[in-house]
């Protein structure tokens, strides 16, 4: 959909199919990448050295409280907020479910003080801690291996014949207590390769078990490389090229791309910002705005609260040349496609209500719902469309595994009592770091800003600012100033 995209040329392969692009900003501590498909921005991803996603991480935790009313336990994993473990996510109850037995209540599945191997399945959000599972999942190229998972399943994207085949292969090589979920990439793979991956992941699970015995809870047992995991998933979708602004990281990605046919990695050298060079720098600001314009002059208003996200569709400047019913349908069809795109781009999860412009016929509502479902096809996260309510609002739920982009990059505005949002100290510190990287070899940069931004920029014991100054040969002078919200400005460059 070039109307959302960018003036840069679309890349094509020899057969005339559009190639995807992944543009990675990797020079600074915060890593970001943008995916572009058919000339349009299709994904925004950001990773920080501290406070990044916990999803997929393995911890040795300690059960600190049993809550019988919730049928859940609270587990200290050493990340500030205690994690939440429901009884259904304990190995005994997974075995009970698949064996047709009665599930154990939480106080029989675990006990207070117990040392427990758990995995984060959903990041902390707001006042809630991370959601945990004691049924560990280890990802491979063709399958997901669960040491205590019991069952075998296969991707719904495989046809029925292929699903039956790969499930039979898994059953032949897994142990009774193990679980295996075959991924879409398992289609057409020789049985020996699937067997080898099960054996390799079984060995990894045993190594983790031995390491878990040695440490004192709570502690992080294994940190998932979310950036590379996400890149792997992106490269499974098609063919294209990866542009990276850091030479060392581009070399690391060469071996990753070697396992995905049709992908190449290029070191994109230049003093200016890689996102600016490729016309995607403004995508970040647009993804935080409430208003999203459609190509016909209509627009969406996207507002998120702790309970839900509401998308309001407005006709705006668009009046159309046909009947009111046709104009409404045309706008709603555009809104359906763009809303699906925005949910994925902003990583919005949880309950979502979409208030389309009122439609008189059931046929029009069905057409809009079908268009929305089709547009969801490119989304990695599971999204459930519940249908239209009596008030004409489309109810949707989208799996929430990580923080939404807005929650990750901003914080409540202190000036307006939390009714708006402003960039967080971390976001401002990383932005300042990028600005200094893009300067033309200055000797000294003078900065005025609030103490919280300075602390985030300098790091514990000034180690981040010292490393930056040594790497770039620049002196950063900082003058602290007070403001209601986090703030900085560059006052002099020499």
Q: Which CATH number belongs to the domain containing residue 114 in this structure?
A: 2.40.50.140
Give pLDDT tens digits along the chain (494 positions). Answer: 333 444 444 454 545 555 789 999 998 888 999 999 888 898 999 988 755 678 889 999 999 999 999 999 999 999 889 999 999 999 999 999 988 899 999 999 999 999 999 999 998 887 789 999 999 999 988 999 999 999 999 998 889 999 999 999 999 999 999 999 999 889 999 999 999 999 999 999 999 999 998 888 999 998 888 888 888 888 877 789 999 999 999 998 998 888 788 899 999 987 788 999 999 999 999 999 999 999 888 899 999 887 899 999 998 776 666 688 888 999 999 999 999 999 999 999 999 999 999 998 999 999 999 999 999 987 878 899 999 998 899 999 998 877 888 888 888 777 766 667 888 999 999 999 999 998 888 999 999 999 999 999 999 999 999 999 999 999 999 999 998 889 999 999 98
Of 254, 282, 310, the residue at which a domain comes to its end is 282
Q: Are residues 381 and 313 in the same domain?
A: yes
Q: Are residues 129 and 70 in the same domain?
A: yes
Q: Are residues 394 and 300 in the same domain?
A: yes
Q: Are residues 276 and 307 in the same domain?
A: no
Of 135, 150, 173, the residue at which a domain comes to its end is 135
Of 110, 135, 160, the residue at which a domain comes to its end is 135
Of 11, 21, 15, the closest CA to residue 263 belongs to 21
E-assigned strand segments in 288-372: 291-293, 299-304, 309-314, 350-355
Q: Are residues 274 and 328 in the same domain?
A: no
Q: Are residues 308 and 384 in the same domain?
A: yes
This prediction's pTM: 0.69
Q: How many CB atoms lie within 10 A of CB 387?
A: 11
DSSP letter, residue 107: H
Judged by DSSP in three states, 412 sits in strand
Q: Are residues 111 and 166 in the same domain?
A: no
Domain assignment of residue 147, given as a range: 138-209
Task: Evaluate whether residue 403 is within a structural domain.
Answer: no
Q: Are residues 68 and 43 in the same domain?
A: no
Q: How far is CA 35 from CA 176, 203, 296, 299, in A?
A: 41, 34, 25, 24
Task: Evaluate whether residue 364 is within a structural domain.
Answer: yes
Task: Evaluate whether residue 218 is within a structural domain.
Answer: no
State the total domains in the chain. 5
Q: Are residues 153 and 244 in the same domain?
A: no
Q: Are residues 21 and 113 in the same domain?
A: no
Q: How many CB atoms lie within 10 A of CB 97?
A: 14
Q: Which CATH number belongs to the domain containing residue 477 in this structure?
A: 3.40.1260.20
Strand partners, 58: 119, 222
The answer to whether 19 and 11 are in contact (CB under 8 A) is: yes
The answer to whether the peptide bond before residue 268 is cis (omega within 30 degrees of 0) is no
Q: Are residues 298 and 373 in the same domain?
A: yes
DSSP letter, residue 10: P
Alpha carbon distance 71, 90 (integer Å) = 11
Task: Evaluate whether residue 83 is within a structural domain.
Answer: yes
Q: Are residues 128 and 142 in the same domain?
A: no
Alpha carbon distance 385, 396 (integer Å) = 5
Cα 391 to chain center, whole Å? 32
Measured between its terminal Cα atoms, the distance across the chain in Å is: 44
Task: Evaluate whether residue 287 is within a structural domain.
Answer: no
């Amino acid at each position: 959909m070039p109307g959302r995209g960018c003036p840069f040329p679309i890349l094509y392969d020899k057969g005339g199919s559009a190639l995807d692009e992944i543009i990675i900003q990797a020079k600074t501590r915060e890593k970001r990448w943008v995916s572009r498909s058919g000339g349009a921005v299709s994904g925004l991803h950001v990773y920080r050295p501290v406070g990044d996603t916990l999803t997929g991480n393995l911890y040795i935790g300690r059960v600190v409280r049993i809550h019988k009313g919730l049928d859940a336990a609270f587990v200290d994993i050493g990340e500030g907020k205690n994690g939440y473990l429901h009884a259904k996510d304990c190995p005994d109850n997974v075995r009970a479910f698949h064996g047709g037995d009665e599930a154990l209540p939480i106080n029989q599945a675990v006990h207070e003080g117990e040392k427990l191997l758990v995995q984060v399945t959903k990041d902390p959000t707001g006042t809630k801690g991370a959601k945990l599972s004691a049924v560990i999942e280890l990802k491979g190229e063709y399958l997901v291996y669960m040491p205590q998972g019991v069952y075998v399943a296969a991707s719904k994207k495989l046809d029925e014949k292929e699903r039956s085949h790969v499930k039979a292969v898994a059953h032949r090589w897994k142990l009774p207590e193990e679980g295996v979920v075959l991924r879409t990439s398992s289609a057409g793979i020789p049985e020996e390769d699937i067997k080898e991956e099960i054996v390799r992941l079984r060995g990894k699970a045993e190594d983790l078990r031995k390491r878990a015995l040695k440490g004192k809870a709570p502690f992080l047992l294994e940190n998932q490389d979310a950036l590379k995991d996400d890149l792997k998933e992106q490269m499974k979708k098609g063919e294209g090229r990866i542009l990276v602004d850091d030479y060392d990281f581009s070399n690391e990605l060469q071996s990753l791309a070697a396992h995905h046919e049709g992908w190449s990695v290029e070191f994109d050298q230049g003093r200016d910002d890689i996102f600016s060079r490729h016309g995607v720098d403004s995508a970040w600001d647009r993804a935080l705005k409430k208003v999203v314009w459609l190509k016909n002059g209509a627009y969406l208003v996207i507002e998120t609260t702790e309970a839900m996200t509401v998308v309001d569709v407005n006709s705006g400047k668009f009046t159309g040349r046909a009947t009111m019913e046709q104009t409404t349908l045309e706008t709603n069809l555009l809104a359906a496609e763009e809303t699906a795109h925005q949910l994925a781009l902003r990583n919005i999860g949880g309950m979502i209500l979409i208030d389309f412009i009122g439609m008189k016929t059931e046929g029009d509502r069905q057409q809009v719902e079908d268009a929305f479902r089709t547009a969801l096809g490119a989304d990695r996260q599971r999204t459930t469309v519940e249908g239209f309510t009596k008030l004409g609002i489309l109810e949707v739920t989208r799996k929430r595994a990580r923080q939404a982009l807005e929650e990750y990059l901003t914080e409540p505005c202190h000036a307006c009592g939390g009714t708006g949002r402003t960039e967080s100290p971390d976001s401002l510190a990383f932005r300042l770091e990028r600005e200094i990287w893009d300067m033309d070899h200055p000797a000294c940069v003078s900065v005025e800003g609030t103490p919280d931004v300075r602390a985030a920029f300098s790091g514990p014991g000034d180690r981040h600012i010292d490393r930056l100054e040594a790497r770039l040969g620049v002196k950063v002078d900082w003058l602290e100033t007070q403001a209601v919200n986090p703030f900085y400005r560059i006052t002099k460059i020499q």
